[in-house]
Homo-oligomer: A and B are copies of this chain.
Amino acid sequence: MTIALDGFGAEQGFDVLAEGARRAAADGIGVRVFGPERSLRLAGVSGIEVIPTTEWIGNDDDPVQSVRERREASVVRAARDVAEGNAAAMVSLGSTGATMAAATFGLRRLKGVQRPALAVRLPSPVKPVLFLDVGANIEVRAQHLVQFAFLGAAFSAAVLEVREPTVGLLTVGEEAGKGRPEIVEAHRILAEAPGVDFAGNIEGGDLPEAKVDVVVTDGFTGNVALKVMEGAARTLAGAISDLAHKNVLAAAGGLLLKPALGGLRKEFDPDTTGGAILLGLRAVTIVGHGSSGADGVANAIRLAARSVDVDAVGRTAALLREGHAGRAALAGDAVGDEAA
């Protein structure tokens, strides 16, 4: 198993990225890194090959235009590496927009999918929830939200092994008419669509409480909501730790709770999950957190390898194909299986 890794975009620097690659390689995963040889200092590491690359696409660059014009940029080369069969999946910690554009152009979409969506498994203490889109599509139409529901349900059933996953639409009230116009329209379509177990609208408070298996939203709202959850967990854990420092009784309590609290905090740490998976493409693409530490980088590579191992793409595609309703919904105004 070999994974193509974008060698740029790690906010903590090349050392952290290289250390993450080393840890994944130590697990027996081959890693092909597209980045600067001298900064990465990975020469001679077993299982790792550095393909010297100096060009890259940053957060300030226009994603689509940059991917079209800069054929030698690291994220574009990583996608091409997968398309050419040198690697089974790609991982990038760089610009989400650029990764999405490079993967969509280079790896193509599954038949009938208009927009790939970025999905994360939320580390809810109740049960895992698949949450999408968390940043790939800032603006969506109703039909895109409907497709996300089918994509998310198929991935949840095929890869997370949830039987008949329930799908909720994230909005500002339980009633069918609540939310932006595209959400109201998506609700109407999903309520009548066979082939997906639509549980109706859910509100922000239901997200950490895991009331459904799959939560669908646009990439703007999903990105904000995900980061609010992570921030709230981080802040609350910090506040508990502060309290324990201020009060001698609480300090003793904190010490005793520490092993349990540590596990909880780790579950909410984005470094643990490794990143988000781009659903709807013909090959696995993982978007890691830009701020990942070495563990985050390693876990993103491991997530890519695991997703290939369980044939995430093939099984999701099969479930999409099989579902009559899924096919009907996806065929609605599909634009074929070529990237736009």
| Residues of A that sit less than 8 Å from B by CB | 59-60, 124-126, 135, 138-139, 170-173, 175, 177-181, 203-209, 217, 219-221, 223-236, 238-240, 242-244, 246-247, 249-250, 252-261, 264
CB atoms of B60 and A235 under 8 A apart: no
Question: Which of B125, B229, B264 contacts A228 (CB under 8 A)?
Answer: B229
Query: 14 additional contacts, CB 8 Å, given A59-B175, A125-B236, A225-B228?
Result: A203-B227, A204-B223, A204-B229, A204-B230, A205-B228, A208-B236, A209-B234, A221-B221, A232-B232, A247-B259, A249-B259, A253-B253, A253-B255, A256-B256
Instruction: Flag if A264 contacts B240 (CB, 8 Å).
Output: yes
Given contacts A139-B180, A173-B59, contact A264 B239 (CB under 8 A): yes
Interface centre among A180, A217, A243 (most CB of B within 10 A): A243
The 6 closest A-B pairs by CB, nearest first: A204-B227, A253-B256, A205-B231, A253-B257, A232-B232, A125-B239
Specify which of B171, B225, B246, B261 is in contact with A225 (CB 8 Å cutoff): B225
Chain B residues near A203: list those with CB within 8 A: 224, 227
Nearest Cβ on chain B to A117's Cβ, whole angstroms: 15
CB contacts (< 8 Å) of A217 on chain B: these are 224
Given A125-B242, A220-B221, A253-B257: A138 in contact with B235 (beta carbons within 8 A)? no
Supposing A138-B179, A172-B223, A172-B224 touch, asked if A264 and B243 sit within 8 A by C-beta, the answer is yes
Complex-state Cα separation, A85 to B261, whole angstroms: 53
Which listed residue, B220, B254, B259, touches A179 by the CB 8 Å rule? B220
Chain B: CB-nearest residue to A225: B228
26 inter-chain pairs at a CB distance below 8 angstroms, sorted by A residue, are A125-B238, A135-B172, A138-B172, A179-B220, A204-B230, A205-B234, A206-B231, A207-B228, A208-B231, A208-B232, A208-B234, A208-B235, A208-B236, A209-B234, A209-B235, A228-B228, A229-B232, A232-B236, A236-B236, A236-B264, A239-B264, A240-B261, A243-B264, A244-B257, A249-B259, A253-B254
Q: How far is the CA of A154 from the CA of B138 in the complex (A)?
A: 31
In the bound complex, residues from chain B placing their C-beta under 8 Å from that of A260 are 240, 243-244, 246-247, 250, 253
- A209 in contact with B225 (CB, 8 Å): no
A8, chain B: closest CB distance, angstroms: 16
Residue from the list B180, B235, B258 in contact with A126, Cβ < 8 A? B235
What residues of chain B lie closer than 8 Å to A171, measured between beta carbons? 220, 224
**Most chain B CB atoms below 10 A, which of A138, A172, A223, A244:** A172
Contact B250 A259 (CB under 8 A): yes
Collect the chain B residues with CB atoms within 8 Å of residue A125's CB.
235-236, 238-239, 242
Task: Look across to chain B and name the residue whose beta carbon is closest to the beta carbon of A265.
Answer: B236
Q: Which residues of chain B are near A253, meaning CB under 8 Å?
A: 252-258, 260
Chain B residues lying within 8 Å of A231, measured Cβ to Cβ, are 204-209
Which residues of B have CB within 8 Å of A178? Answer: 59
- Please name all residues of chain B whose beta carbon is closer than 8 Å to the beta carbon of A255 when the two chains form the complex: 253
Bound-state CA distance A180–B182 (Å) is 15
- Complex: A246 Cα to B234 Cα, angstroms: 23
Q: How far is the CB of A220 from chain B (nearest CB, A)?
A: 6
Residues of chain B with a CB closer than 8 A to A257's CB = 240, 243-244, 250, 253-254, 257
